[in-house]
Amino acid sequence: MRIKLHGTRGAYPTSSKETQKLGGNTSCIEIIDANERLILDAGTGILEIDFDSYSSADRIDILLTHLHMDHIQGLGFFKPIFDPNKEIHIWGPGGSSYPLKDRLKRFLSPPLFPVMLRDIPSKLVIHELPNEPFKLGKFLITAKFVCHPGPTVGYRIQMGSRSVAYIPDHEPVLNKPHLFKEDKWISGFDLCNKTDLLIHDSQFGCEEYKKKVGWGHCTLEIAAELAKRAKAKRLVMFHHDPAHTDKYRSDIFTSFMNSHTNDFPIELAVQGHEIEI
């Protein structure tokens, strides 16, 4: 399985020169295995996808973690949605008093977007995620609600014996220095359990988090503790704060790495990087 990181930033895109190393696009990754592909989230990173690679695909599946703008703002500009020969399947969380389609329509309609959802030329099929694991091609998908404001899921994507867990927006504990003692009470634990690769929120440094409790994001320390507890084999720290320069992000990462011992690789997510598992 290959995982392409097309957008690694949280909140809003940034074009500042000082953020270009880690990347300025908001959340989007692509998972590829032979000729099967999935897109996770539709932040501005979705616009980095090689559209030609989808030219022969009749069907495209986009899995959304939630509907915060940084995870959907590229959707209306994703070229294949204007191709009448394409079927675009969008998956996202239910769990709200409004159906997913109505919630998406609020964004994909005037005045926020010039085209109405119903006038989009491709065949759009919108699915609320099932509670049980389900298959898309050879991928086995598990989606579970995680702690973040509004209905939000994390994903585990399995292909044969390999798996990747993607939880870009997550605050597994509220204003506590450590996770709960019992694994079963930890938000997202099952998704990460012994995964080959965990791509996880790590937006804040410890001092900064104290002022942003309840915003739905976590520290590098908590992301690493979750990976360790769940015996994940590799951790990619994702959802960089757009106000953090590459230097600041790299400094807090180095300081974290120098003060913690971890027996698995940890790295900062870099837009454009491809990871093979």
Q: Which residue is nearest to Zn ion (CB)?
A: 68
What span, in angstroms and rounded, lies between the C-alpha atoms of 137 and 234? 25
Output the smallest distance, CB 71 to Zn ion, in A. Answer: 6
Q: Kindly indicate which of the ranges 63-71, 207-215, 241-249, 254-262 contains the residues binding Zn ion, using the contact rule CB under 5 A.
A: 63-71
Identify the bridge partners of residue 140 per DSSP, sorted by sequence position: 135, 158
Residue 70-89 contact track with Zn ion, rule CB under 5 A, x = bound = x-------------------
Output the smallest distance, CB 70 to Zn ion, in A. Answer: 4
Nearer to Zn ion, 1 or 236 (CB): 236
- What strands, in cross-sheet order, belong to the sheet with 28-33? 123-128, 87-92, 59-63, 36-40, 28-33, 2-7, 274-276
| 7 binds Zn ion per the rule CB under 5 A | no
What span, in angstroms and rounded, lies between the C-alpha atoms of 167 and 111? 31
Nearer to Zn ion, 61 or 70 (CB): 70
Q: Nearest Cα to 61, choosing from 86, 82, 43, 83?
A: 86
| 10 binds Zn ion per the rule CB under 5 A | yes
Q: Classify strands 162-167 and 153-159 as parallel, antiparallel or unpaired.
A: antiparallel
| 169 binds Zn ion per the rule CB under 5 A | yes
Reading the block at residue 233, the tokens are 């084999």
Output the smallest distance, CB 194 to Zn ion, in A. Answer: 26
3-state percent breakdown (helix, strand, coil) of the chain, nearest 5:
25, 30, 50
| 68 binds Zn ion per the rule CB under 5 A | yes
Nearer to Zn ion, 147 or 232 (CB): 147
The residues binding Zn ion (CB under 5 A) are 10, 68, 70, 169
